[in-house]
């Protein structure tokens, strides 16, 4: 399983973009990169995933480096409801998600 490195915490002002980085230098060629987030006192929820190309959905965008050794989750306009722990999870094509310590995002009003 690919090892990930994420900053322990980040802060953002409300209504501003947030870029959450993740390093996964040992990722294999077939690993998808998933992002989940966990809001306070809730279970994790899916945010986005990708393989090689940048991806967009209603929640966020995912920018994947050309060498795939890193990726960045982009929240275009952070709201107070986006305050959560964000997990970057390279998956090896199986069911097993390895949740690391994630990045705790604090959004300031």
In the complex, which residues of this chain contact other proteins (CB under 8 A)?
30-32, 34, 42-46, 49, 91-97, 99-101
Q: State the minimum distance, in angstroms, from the CB of residue 74 to other proteins.
A: 19
Residue 39's CB: how many other CB atoms inside 10 A?
Answer: 13
Instruction: Tell me the closest approach of the beta carbon of residue 1 to other proteins, in angstroms.
Output: 11
Nearer to other proteins, 61 or 92 (CB): 92
**∠ CA 10-95-62, rounded to 5°:** 35
DSSP state for residue 77 in the 8-state scheme: S
- Residue closer to other proteins by CB (options 12, 91) is 91
* Residue closer to other proteins, measured from CB, 96 or 109: 96
Which residues partner with 71 through β-bridges?
A: 22, 64
DSSP type of residue 52: S
């Amino acid at each position: 399983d690919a090892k990930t490195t994420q900053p322990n915490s980040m802060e953002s002002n409300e209504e501003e973009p947030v870029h959450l980085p993740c390093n996964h230098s040992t990722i294999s060629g077939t690993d998808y990169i998933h992002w989940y987030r966990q809001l306070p006192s809730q279970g994790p929820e899916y945010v986005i995933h990708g393989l090689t190309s940048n991806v967009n959905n209603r929640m966020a965008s995912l920018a994947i480096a050309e060498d795939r050794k890193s990726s960045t989750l982009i929240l275009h306009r952070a709201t107070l409801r986006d305050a959560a722990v964000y997990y970057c999870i390279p998956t090896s094509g199986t069911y097993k998600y390895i949740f690391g310590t994630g990045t705790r995002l604090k959004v300031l009003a």
